[in-house]
Amino acid sequence: MLDSYNRDINYLRISITDRCNLRCIYCRPMEGVSLTGHDDILRYEEILRVVSRAVTLGFVKVRLTGGEPLVRRGFVEFAADLKKTKGLEDISLTTNGILLEKYAEAIFKAGITRINISLDSMDKDKYAQITRGGNLDDVFRGIAAAEKAGFSPIKINTVIVKGFNDNEVLDFARLALTKPFQVRFIEIMPVSPVNGGLTADFLPNRELLETIGRHFRLTPLAVKKHKTDGPARIFTLPDGRGEIGFIDPVSDHFCATCNRLRLMADGKLRACLLKDEEVDIKAALRQNCSDDELDALIRRAIRLKPERHDLDCTDRHLKKCHRDMSDIGG
Ligand code: SAM
């Protein structure tokens, strides 16, 4: 379905829980967040209903995120049910990988074969610091389990924080040499109550590209292959098994090609990651709304999509959303 700016909105990102087993410094407050009660979270069957209506409106792609999706009980069964949705062409998962060793094989068998794993440092101490307590070995075991299970592609999402992990940029690039992973650098977004002051830590991706380009010959890959492909600029390395991607939501926003709508765990449809306009669908779902009513709410959320976000990384333009990223699902 087209939005007010003629963009085809066909990609639903679903945050299935606002709970997480990590507290990444740029994502979630140290003391945790006010967690939505169990009854206030969309039930799996409600999510499935929304997806099936979204598909009739032209959505073909879904990504499951959180919070940390793997901490929600029943995830594997839910994934298998989601996979049965007729017309849904692409289901993928974003996870921090901590629980992946346990679940990778079952998730793959349930039919999810594309996975993004967040990894901001390959140094054990730094990883523990940036995630406030995460164990890097768990993630490495999770990644190995994902490889073994057969996930393809495996994408590694890395947020570089200036002065903290920018010294690891080349190590991450080398990972794409030796492993068949797409290693993606995502610019830190200073959006939420938790990191609204992080502008000093912002590094534009063009600096990372320059650094990597001084050591490796990067060849840009041709433009999008599929209409639902994301906004990453992808490069290959000579003899590299993997690829390197850059996602620049701040320095080079890609709003003109945005194709997304977000469904959050508390039942709000969010029109833009970086703006607070939302449509509540949980109330309607719980009052047994008709399919037409549900469709109308989804259409309303699509109409709310702004032409672009107004975030940049100067102090003057610090953006404050009322939600943390862990709430929205990244
Ligand atoms: N728990 C899962 C994970 O860690 O991948 C899924 C949710 S997490 C919010 C999704 C992605 O958002 C992660 O890759 C995380 O690094 C990214 N993220 C969170 N806050 C961010 C921020 N302020 N700027 C850029 N990326 C952010």
The residue with greater pLDDT, 308 or 104, is: 104
DSSP-derived secondary structure for 176-224: HHHSSEEEEEE-----STTTTTGGGG---HHHHHHHHHHHS--EEPPS-
Helix or strand or coil: residue 141? helix
SS3 content of the chain, % helix, strand, coil (to 5): 35, 15, 50
**Using CA atoms, how far apart are residues 279 and 268, in angstroms rounded to an integer?**
5
CA–centroid distance, 325 to ligand 1, in Å, is 7
Q: Is 32 exposed, middle or buried (0-12, 13-18, 19+ CB in 10 A)?
A: exposed
**Average pLDDT value over all residues in the chain:** 91
| Range in 72-86, 216-230, 287-301 the model is least confident about | 216-230
* pLDDT at residue 258, as a whole number: 93
CA–centroid distance, 269 to ligand 1, in Å, is 18
Q: Which of 92, 13, 77 is nearest to 45 (CA)?
A: 77
pLDDT above 50 (res 316): no
> Is-contact 315 199, C-beta < 8 A?
yes
What pTM value is reported for the model?
0.95
Q: How far is CA 72 from the centre of its chain?
A: 17
CA–centroid distance, 292 to ligand 1, in Å, is 34
Could you state, in order of their start, the residue ranges of all structural domains in the chain? 11-157+257-328
> Is-contact 46 267, C-beta < 8 A?
yes
Average pLDDT over residues 78-85: 98
321: which residues sit within 8 A by CB, 6+ positions away?
191, 192, 274, 275, 276, 328
> Is-contact 301 269, C-beta < 8 A?
yes
Element (H, E) at 124: helix 124-130
CATH architecture of 11-157+257-328: Alpha-Beta Barrel (3.20)
pLDDT above 80 (res 320): no
* pLDDT at residue 199, as a whole number: 63
Q: Which of 186, 251, 260 to mutate to test the pocket of ligand 1 (most atoms within 8 A of CB)?
A: 186
Average pLDDT over residues 231-245: 93
Specify the ligand 1 atom closest to the Cα of 157: 14
Per-residue pLDDT tens over the stretch 98-143: 999 999 999 999 999 999 999 999 999 999 999 999 999 999 999 9
Around ligand 1, the residues with Cβ closer than 6 Å are 20, 26-27, 65-66, 68, 94-96, 118, 157, 159, 186, 188-189, 191, 195, 325-326, 329-330
